[in-house]
Structure 1
Amino acid sequence: MSFFGKNIRKIRSVKTLSQQAFAELFDLKRGTLGAYEEGRSEPKIETLIKIANYFSIPIGDLLTRELTVNELLKFKGELTEQFEAINKERFTAIPCITEKNSADYINYFDKNSFVAEMVHVEVPIETKTPLRAYIITNLEMSSQDQGLFPKDWVIGEFVPQDNYTKLSNGTLVLVLAVNQLILRRLYIVNDQFILRADHKSIEEITVAVSDVKEMWCITAVFQRRVSEVSSGIEEKLLMLEQEFAKLRGRL
């Protein structure tokens, strides 16, 4: 049994065509189309060619595998509206360090082919400086209910080695050193970097400048949480005042 029935049903869904409307496009009866979609019948070769040509889909793909919605949207013909490529807006694509690829990044960070194959995030940032995105996996940069939490992510600009010592103390940086990625606040002491977490119970890390392989200065933070508009204290005080007013009225 071919995938023809599943594929034409998916085409109808993408194109928002009823069975009747689709059948009329190719001089078919609605019942015949229904039989195709349910796998009770296969189309004649003439019908197959008409449908494949109309939607610019290779006959082999239409018959031998289930097409995805994304694939169908890319086919030309009458399947989708056509837009001029010049009008398509593009944001900056930034290689993203995730929990899954971080170990490989530590080993292959300097391989352009590896970086090119990393997952990328697109954000409306314009800069000529190389960027990295990094997804938070721990609570080291949190303090009580503030700061960065797992699944938050940050974007950093590349810091050339000559500019390491120009960074201000307390700058949030992502450092690749001693076979680990460290997101901390940077403090410079002689030829050493002190990397401190915002979480009070996390010990600081000392790294020799010569051990730093890469450094990224964090310039943007994206948090999954929505900050509370208010703490609720004002509402509680108002309620107390109203209760006191009621008590005074009874006295």
Structure 2
Amino acid sequence: MSIFSDNIRFLRGKKEITQQELADTLIITRSRYVSYEDGRSEPPIEVLVKISKFFNISIDLLVSVDIRKYPLDEILRLPDNRIVLPVVVDKLGNNSIEIIPQKASMGYLSGYSDPEYIESLQRISLPFLTNGKYRAFPAQGDSMPPFKDGSYIIGKYLERIDDLKENKSYVFVTLNDGISYKRFKSKNEKSITVTADNSFYEPYEISFYEIVEIWQYASGIFPEDFEPYHFENHNLKDMFLELRKDIRDLNIKVSGLKEEQNSIG
């Protein structure tokens, strides 16, 4: 027996279907399916994909996690055959918010789909955040005003890219940049365009392939020393950054004119 064989036996039982019915769905013989469930053989990748899609459970969870330990009714099902697990609630039924630690944020890309990693995170509950799955991400760098180092951005999980709204803020988890807080600008067939609230940074594109998760901004947790006047400081800082940006653009134009003159001469 294996984790995979235990999982498919368990999942088939939850669906209350026979081995023959599942084998017919997978377009294989019953004896072949039984060999998978008994752990005597392993399915080829094409059959494994069919099993994964049938149960709506990602392949990595099917083969590596004993899902019998997690109530299926508390699993939040996501598109593209991915699952966030578990959805934890407190004694009052409020949704728990997992907090991604500042020091461990770089490990989120490898741990976001690992139940043990998610379960190890600290949690809080905010009664005014309901009807969704929420997670708190650390703010880092100067591209996220008014958030600064030590702040946390609470995001609500967004299931579809089509649900992005122009000029709204989101936490994007991507293969290249990891965790970033950006404002959505536009979308085309292959990518989205986002921009930082700090105007010094240019808008840029993120391909659909790079996107791991999207969390819509819901609330923020600020350091103890955060005060309203910090907004004014950010505005002043933005003025200097904008000036630097203008100087940089001017230098680029001047260089271009010089190249044109040299080519003409």
Normalised TM-score (structure 1):
0.49
Rg larger for: 1
Normalising by structure 2, report the TM-score.
Answer: 0.46
